[in-house]
Each structure stands twice: as C-alpha cells, then as structure tokens.
Amino acid sequence: MPETEKLYAQVIVDLVSNAVDRPFQYLIPSHLRQVVKLGSQVVVPFRSQKKTAYVVALEKEPAVENPREILALPEPPYSLLPEFMELSYWLSRRFFSRWIEAIHLCLPPAGKRLKTKEVEYVFPLMDREKLREMSSRLKKKAPRQSLILEHLAPVGEKGLPWAKLRIKTGSRRESLLSLEGKGYVKIEKIPYEKLPRQGAATLPKNKGGLSFSAQQKKAWQEIEKGFSGSPKHFLLYGVTGSGKTELYLRAAAKVLKQGRTVLFLVPEIMLTPQIIDHFNRRFTGQFALLHSKLTPGERFREWKRIESGQARFVLGARSAVFAPLKNIGLIIMDEEHENTYKQDDAPRYHTRDVAKWRAEYHDAIMLMGSATPSLESYWEARKQKLKLLQMTKRIGNRSLPAVQLVDMRHEFKQKNRGIFSRLLLRAMEDTLSRGEQLILFLNRRGFAGFQLCRECGWVMQCPHCAVSLTYHASPEHLQCHYCGYKQAVPQSCPRCRSMYLRNFGLGTQRVEKVMRGLFPQVGVMRMDSDTAGRKGSYERIWRNFEEKKASVLIGTQMIAKGLDFPDVTLVGVIAADITLHLPDFRAGERTFQLLSQVAGRAGRGDKAGRVIIQTYTPWHYSIQAAAVHNYPKFTREELKRRQALFYPPFSEILLFNCSSPCEQEARQAAEELKKRLIVHLPPGKEGAEGFLGPSPAPLQRIEDRFRYHLLYRGFDLQKYGAIVRETVWDFTRRVGEDTWVTVDFNPLKVL
C-alpha cells in the first residue's frame, strides 16, 4: 500500500451503552497499517479517555472529517477470528443485544493478561533398565532417591510432575536436587498448555467396539450420509437408554479422523460425569473441557489449548458454543430441550441457534439429541427442516420401566398425611430389602415451601421479591431462591407476635429427614444446589452412589438426567405437580420432560425398573403421556393447544420486560412502550392484535423491582429487529434511569 494512501477502521468501542452501540471510524496510523486487521483489539481515544475497541471493518475513504487516530495495540496484541466478528454481529441483531455484549462472548476467558501456569516436571536422563539398576543401588543408602527413580522407570522419557512424585514417594526437594546433581534426572518448568499428554486410552471391552442395535445402525447410516452430502442437520429422538451416546462417540471419532474438530454441548457440565469419562478415555490428549465451574486460570488454559489446535474435541456447557475451534466438522447438542441452553442475561441467546449458525459456517454436521425433544425442534423436523432420527427401544431390548400413577387425593381420603403414598412406601421397602438402589425426585430444594402463622395467616415473605421465603433446616434459616436473601427463623410472628408458626410445603431436605427416620440403617444422599453447589461436590456424590455407599439418592432436576446406575430399579416422583401449574405456557412440556427424564433413570441395567409418580392431577395429558413413555401422544395434545393459542412453534414471540422500583412507573412504561411499538409491528393472527398485555409479571417483584410484561406474537420477527431496537432504545433514553427495559426473543421462561 502506498505510504500516502490512508486506511481507516470502523470500531466498536468496549462500552456497554445504547448510545455507543454503533461503529466509530478511526484513522490507522502508518506504523500500524500492517498489523491492524479485521477483528483486531485496539486502543482508541474516546471522548476524553482511552478505550479498548474492536475493528469490525476496514475502509479506504473517511466517513467523517478529521477522524482521530488509533493509539496502539494492547500488549500482547489480540485479534478475534473473522468468524466471530460475523457471528457477534448476527447474534446482536437476532437477540436484540448490543454488539459489544456479543463480542464479549467470543473473547478469551479471564482476558489476555492471565499469567501462564508452569508445572515443574522431572525427566530421567537414562533408559528404563538403567533407572531400575540405579534405583536398586540407592535403595539402602538413599531410599527416597531410589523411590523417585523407581516411579520414573515405567514412564520413561515422558517424565512426571514433581508435585506428583513428591506425594507418591514422600521425598523432599533435597533428594530430587541430589539426583539432578548426579546427572540422573533433569528438572524443567513447562507451560501448562504444553504439558506431555498421554496417547489415546484403550476402552474397556464392555465400553468400546459395541455392535449397533438395528435402530442405532439405521440412524448411523443416515448420519453418515451427512458427511458426504446432505442433510447435515439431524434431530435424534431416542428414549432413555437407547444408545444415543454411542452414536455421538462414533460420529466424533470419524470427524477427528478426517482432521476436523468436534464441539459437544451439554446443558450442565457437572451433570455429565459419565459422559466426561467416556470421552476422556476415547479422546485423551485431544480433549478439552469448558465450563463455568473451572477456575479462571483453568478456563483460560483450556481455551488456549483449543485456540492453538492442541485440543480438537471440546466438551462444554452453554458458553462453550463460542469455543475458538477451527474447521469444525461436527456439533453435538445433547439434551437439546433443556432450558439451561438459553442465556438469561443480555445477550439472551439460545445455544441451539448459535450452534446452527456455526455449523452452517463450517459446513459441519449438527446433531441434536434428546429423549424428549423441544416442540420447536420436533416441529422443524415435521416440516423437514431437520432430519428426524428415531430410536424407540433401549439397548439390549431392555424394557422401559413400568410406571404407576398414585392419586394423592385418594391417599388423603384414606387418612394418609405422610410424604409417601402407601404404594411407594411398600416399593421402597421391597427394593431396599433386595439390596438394590432407588432415586426419589422432588423439584424443590429446602425443607418446606414456606412458613405460616396459624393464628393470623401471615406468610414469611422476601422483603425484596414477591415470593415467600423457603424454610431450610440445615442450617436453619429462611431463604429467597430468587435474590438469595437469607434471614434467621423468627421465634414469633412478625405481624401478631403469635408463637404458632408452622412450616408448610415440601422440599428435598424434609424428604431426606423422613427417609432417615424410616430407614435408619440405609445410606441416604441428597443432591440439589445446596449440597452440590461447590466444585467437585456433584461428582463426589455421584461416585459415592455409584460405589453403593448409599442406597437412596434424593434430589431435584439435577438427578433427572445424565445418570446411569444399573442397580437403580425404583424411581419415586414425590410431587409431579410442582412444575405443572406454573403460569407459563411451557409448563406442560417442562413437566413431561422432567418426568420422562427421571423415569429413565430406572431399569438401565439387567434388572427391571419401576417408577411411581405421586400426583394430585393424574388426568393431565402431560402426566398421562409420561406414564406410558409416549412422546408422540404428548406432542399431539400440546401442539393442539399451542396452535389454538398461537404460541411457539406456531409463532415467534418477543417478551418486553419493564421494571422499576416504583410499580406505577413500571406499568406506565409498559403501556407507553406498547403505544410506540404497535405503530411498527403488524397485527397478529387473523387480524387480531399481536400484543398481550401489558400486565404484571407472574413474579411481579424481584430484587426490589416491580416488573410488567408485554408479549408480542408474530412471524419472521427478525425483519423487524432494527425498528424494534431503535424504538426500545429511543424509549429508554426518554424514561428515567430507574426504569429498565429488556427484550427477550423466544424466551423459554415467562415468569
């Protein structure tokens, strides 16, 4: 490029603000022309400050008079992949977020300034026979030195970390330094991402080389067609235990053999220790984990291994969809129906949509799997936008567990006031007497749903949210499960000073207490966010239950998926109605999915499984369909209702949430916003208005803010994205700072 020719950069400034959510042009100084490129992170003068920005376009003509110059590149310089520049723009427009918020999703975790961790390794300077000989000579005079050489002999030139050697041999550093001085070993510090890694491990005979069932084989033949042509987008509907994971493994192995990369997405990483075991064994050395439970350092180092190409198989939760993989050949999305794939905060993206975008960008296969697919994906398959693959039988012709419904109204009439129906109690006694294991499912943590004064009727409320406080017994306290507020349990009613306080409702803590009272000699474990919130605690509980250190596992939805225990022959659902009666149009779908998933934990081994579902609404189609493992029956009923009410998958929806510390201001904001939007958005189905509301949100007050919802239903809403963004952001500039407006495209929760 001639020295006189100028070059300009359009940049997005790293400020989360509606006012600056657009590109600004800067002149690239001559000394930076060769290094500034699309995606570059740069430092620019912005107003009176220096700000980080990202180059989103390069231009030869000025768009403004006398543009300011880019000041520098940060040290070390960093540049986003061109793919991520395109992806971030698309994502910000599809999900109504600011461009910089979408760019943030594509950046390395913990930034570029994290120090590289180094691990001290010990390498032998002689062959294995010589090591063993020297170890034998030193055994009497220097036993610790002898042990070090003895442990190094089997691994040879791969060496071992000093931290590991020190623990195994009980040696002090003096022993190691003495061996180094004699020329027997060398000590070297190695960056974490360059550590020696083992080759691919050999799978046990019962895990690898399995022959496909007829249904697996048919599904695999369809997937293989995608490697050489189309279709490339698949929905794998397979009942629990039908062998979906083995198909994932085979597809991943084929893609890696082709020299391409694999992205495997799961709803929650800590819920899949068995999948991690499977993949780590089969893809050792190429395998990387990305999830929020890693420390910032661990996350950054895994990210660097992926970016460098050392890790070609990435397993992770929602945010792993932004892993810096190149040449992706396969994206797997397990349990594609799960709500956790949707981001609650801006940008409110759905992982499924981002994964599809990346699959198309790389011409990769997209394989989504579930025993209970989301209605949106199922409808796409019905419309032949996805290829539907079905596996309706379990591996080895194992039967699905028998399911029995217990009408708890009849139990009440029979004077049974306990947690367990008589049928479930007998089944638990029989199961435990045979030395088998059982799972009890209740999708509510804590000891009791709320605390009530029996004299005046006062319910202990969260001071910041329009919800009751949940009573927890260990340690004893009241807690809000929305904002996290905690308080001590009052000794008397705050309103009338009565001493007659009583706990109502049911939680996992109470179930655990009752079980320990009924079966004092039996090991009982509880798994919910209270017991499994700390790093490693979920895996510890899972391992202990797998090793049969407990016979009973009680838990919330954390136990409904990802668990495969062959000795679990009984699953009891304590209260199937908890999710069914939520004020959300997806409540029936969510209930069916949870019941089907948790029922699938029973009978996964050679022994027959049994499921007992306790409910007060046994006639509901979601519960009836789950009881007979009939997904098509459920979808027929649910789709009728969705179509009649014009809800997804028969429409797209926008949820506008207006909130303020003042209820009147929140309501007025929602009403005014509707007036502005109704001018630009078309009427709904058959000429009816597409808007619902505004109305108070089902959870009207959260964290001291009153919330009003405005819902719009329509078709192809992306083409209205620009005008909706402009209208909403112009509106937010005109209302007070205390009034917030958010936009959620196709939300999965409307609470």
Distance between CA atoms of residues 306 and 299, nearest Å: 11
What is the per-residue pLDDT for 263?
96
CA 462 to chain centre: 28
Token pair in block for residue 620: 């509901």
**Torsion, Cα of 126, 131, 133, 134 (10° steps):** 90
Q: Is the pTM of this model over 0.75?
A: yes
pLDDT at 115: 56
Residue 571 has a pLDDT of 93
pLDDT at 204: 36
Q: What is the pLDDT at residue 191?
A: 67
Is there a contact between 637 and 597 (Cβ–Cβ < 8 Å)? no
What is the Cα–Cα distance from 24 to 57, expressed in whole angstroms? 10
Report, as ranges of residue numbers, the positions in the chain whose pLDDT lies below 50.
1, 111-113, 197-209, 687-688
Amino acid at 195: L
Of 456, 455, 507, the C-alpha closest to 478 is: 507
Full set of structural domains in the chain with CATH: 8-105 (3.40.1440.60), 118-194 (1.10.10), 219-388 (3.40.50.300), 402-445+510-641 (3.40.50.300), 446-506 (no CATH), 652-745 (3.30.70.600)
- For 457-494, write each residue's pLDDT tens digit: 888 888 898 888 888 877 788 888 888 888 888 888 88
CA 337 → CA 17, 442, 638, distances in Å? Answer: 33, 20, 15
Backbone angles phi, psi at 276, to 5 degrees: -60, -45
Name the strands in the sheet holding 118-124, side by side, starting at the edge strand that comes first in the sequence.
160-161, 118-124, 185-191
Tell me which H or E stretch contains 641: helix 631-645
**Buried (b) or exposed (e) across 351-386, using 16+ Cβ within 10 A?**
bbbbbbbbbeebebbbbbbbbbbbbbbbbbbeeeeb
The DSSP symbol for 342 reads: B
Q: Which residues contact 540 (CB under 8 A, 6 or more apart)?
A: none
- pLDDT recorded at residue 202: 35
CB 681 within 8 A of CB 690: yes
3-state secondary structure of 472: strand
